Chain A
Amino acid sequence: MKGRIIVRVYNKDIKLRKEQFIVPTIFFVLSIIGIMGAGVSLGFIKNELYNRFIASGIMVLALLIPIYAGMGLNFSISIGAISAQAASILVIGAKVSGILGLISIFILTTIICLILGNIIGFILNRAKGKEMITSIIIGLLGTSLYQLVFMVGYGSVVHPRNKEIILSNGIGVRNMVDLMEFKILMNRFSVMPILIIVLCAAFVKYITGTKFGCKLKAVGQGVEVANMLGIDGDKVRRYAIVISTVMAGIGHLLFMLNMGNINVYTGHLNIDIFACAALLAGGATLTKASISNAFIGIILFHTLFIVSPLAGQNLFQNVALGEYFRSFIAYGVIAIAFVINLRNERKIHKTE
């Protein structure tokens, strides 16, 4: 009897595992087709991929901890990105330069993310079971509030010391703010970005092993159960969001430093969707994800992202087609994740 149960569980495991490979395999095949269609050299892809890896590596890692806590995909990481942009504009506006400026940007980002992360965590605790959709709306609301501050408030209420970042009519920050000075500083330590990403990955790995990690998993199984075990479920969930937001902030900061400028009003848009799609492309589900999912996902998703407009140009003489295709993939993979997730849940119910 016992043996049979074990076999059954084992079978279920294999089935679930098989399903995990479906999405990455599809992405892999599509990427190969895309690369052949685009007709570009592997060196070009490698270069682009490196840049995008730095840009979104930490963003994707930031999604992991809320998934462990059973909160699903945290779309409000765009708030982290907003904090990073706000912090850089504040520092540049105050005319702090050099190493001091760079460090103060990092510190300020962290502080803003800590505050906002707590607020988001508090809100999401009030909307249990609907975290994902609520986090999407939080991201959108945050975007408009951010626009209110920097498009309207700057110049009319706040008067920064650095007049160069304000539009010529005196109200609102320019669309593009220069970060070149800090980029040059960062380039002196060229291993820095990779080092930070590896550190973040190690941090996520480390956290799952600690006492906090166990609490996370317990809360992920069910808040009520965790509460009975004497764990403050709401607090753990809030911390998960705070960590996620801080990581997202630092991730976006690296991205901006790599670019050398800030797209003040458009830089943070869609970052959440692409990060989630990348994670899911790596074979993660809404309840289960790992660091390897994150890294495989980034490579597969972004390869497809780089080559699809080129392939569209090459095969159909139309760049737009490739672009539509890739946005379809990005949104579609999230929709499919829900279908797969529900099927898995049902399967587990049946075997139980």
Chain B
Amino acid sequence: MVLYLLVLFICLIYLGLDCITIINESLVKMVMNGVFVLALIPMINTGIGMNFGLPIGISAGLIGMLLAIQFRLTGFLGFMTAVIVGSLVAIIFGYIYALLINRLKGNEEIVGIFAGLSFIPIMNIFYSGAPFTNRQMLYPVGSKGLRPKINLENYFKGILDNFMIINIGKVRIPFGMLLFYAMICLAIYLLFKSKLGVGMKAVAQNENFAKLSGIDINKTRTISVIVSMVIAAIGICVYSESYGFVQLYDGPLSVAFPTISAILIGGATRKKATVLNAIIGTYLFQTTFLISVPVANEFLIPQLSEITRMIVTNGILLYAFLYEGKNNSESL
């Protein structure tokens, strides 16, 4: 992967594109997608595997943002309302999802995929029937149903992006955004240093042993799922304010797979992941695609970058599953 990045960098210099804009954008992109990646960590370390049910947490965050827009809350107030309401909804969704997951130990990942897929249509029904009244979020024609892309221009677009920017020469560092990201990283780090976090790790290693030491396994798993969902809800708020639009309907579905391969690139396995894995993985993954767009455009085939993105995403996932399978058969 690093090699691939190097090749692309050489291509860039060869083609004479602007490196500094790329560096600037890569920092924003990292935080934009990085929060989702952080959301995976609690569940991996509790032994539940990758959270393919990410769209559920994202839907919670979307509800938070919709409420903020409905009451026309702008600026920081709007963003924080979205985050807080989103987190509250995520706690409820996470609890329900955990009830399902706790009954299906060992099959969490595939059930997560289908739980996510089947939850989105329910949310779609909600979006097309919910009694929102702000004209800027409804379809231009007709009176009911939210539009698929809501513009955040008048609300909290770029609220983190443009907060406390430090300029060093041409390089623009979005300090506020990085600070926000660092706070979440720190929170997760501290969580795993606490008693609860140690309990989570114990559950991942050996359930029977954890049970004997007096840990309520289902409760620990439930908490871990809820934490994951809450971070995912915050993640979509960060993503949307940076992107400038709220994507409803089938938007959340496209998040889970790239996020999971990002953390795998960072060196995480399906049993163990650290904050550092998540940060490195996100940066490498996002920067690669950022670079690949202009490179593909130079070759006159714009679709190429999207296709490589998909191939890399799925290829890494497949590799992770095979690698795991090989280890298992060796230990048998």
Contacts and interface: CB of A to CB of B under 8 A. Distances in A.
A133 B318 contact: no
A137 interface: yes
Given A138-B318, A144-B307, A331 B121 contact: yes
Nearest to B116: A331
A127 interface: yes
B9 interface: no
A147 to B, nearest CB: 5
A152 B300 contact: no
B145 to A, nearest CB: 8
Nearest to B270: A130
B110 interface: yes
Contacts of A156: 301
B258 to A, nearest CB: 12
Contacts of A325: 121, 125
B111 interface: yes
Contact of A145 (B109, B118, B311): B311
Contact of B118 (A144, A147, A172, A332): A332
B107 interface: yes
Interface stretch (B165-173, B272-280, B323-331): B323-331
Interface string A317-352: 010110011011011101100110010000000000
A134 B321 contact: yes
A339 B107 CA distance: 10
Nearest to B110: A133
Interface size bucket, A side?
35 or more
B311 A338 contact: no
Contacts of B303: 147, 151-152, 172
Q: Which of B107, B110, B304, B317 has most A Cβ within 10 Å?
A: B110
The majority secondary structure among interface residues of chain B is: helix
Contact of A335 (B111, B301, B315): B111
B325 A130 contact: yes
Contact of B326 (A126, A335, A339): A126
Contacts of A172: 303
A327 B123 CA distance: 12
A123 interface: yes
Given A133-B321, A151-B303, A320-B124, A331 B311 contact: no
B314 interface: yes
Given A134-B321, A342-B104, A324 B326 contact: no
B329 A128 contact: yes
B262 interface: no
B103 interface: yes
Interface size bucket, B side?
35 or more
Given A137-B314, A147-B307, A324 B111 contact: no
A129 interface: yes
A144 B325 contact: no
B151 interface: no
Contacts of A330: 118
A325 B315 CA distance: 32
B327 to A, nearest CB: 11
B103 A152 contact: no
A324 B110 contact: no
B257 A130 contact: no
Q: Which of B104, B125, B322 has most A Cβ within 10 Å?
A: B125
The 4 closest A-B pairs by CB, nearest first: A331-B118, A328-B121, A144-B310, A127-B325
Contacts of A134: 318, 321-322, 325
Contact of B300 (A171, A331, A338): A171
A186 interface: no
B6 to A, nearest CB: 22
Interface in B25-54: none
A203 B260 CA distance: 40
Interface string B98-139: 001001100101110111011011101100110000000000
Contacts of B118: 327-328, 330-332, 334-335
Given A130-B325, A172-B303, A144 B314 contact: yes
A148 B311 contact: yes
Contact of A127 (B100, B107, B311, B322): B322
A338 B310 contact: no
Nearest to B314: A141
B113 A133 contact: yes
17 contacts: A126-B325, A127-B321, A130-B321, A130-B325, A134-B322, A134-B325, A137-B318, A137-B321, A140-B310, A141-B318, A151-B303, A172-B303, A318-B128, A320-B145, A328-B121, A331-B121, A339-B103
A128 B125 CA distance: 38
A136 interface: yes
A132 interface: yes
B115 to A, nearest CB: 5
A324 B128 contact: yes
Given A134-B318, A137-B321, A140-B310, 6 more contacts: A126-B329, A130-B321, A134-B321, A137-B317, A320-B145, A327-B117
A66 B9 CA distance: 45
Contacts of A327: 117-118, 120-121
Contact of B103 (A130, A332, A342): A342
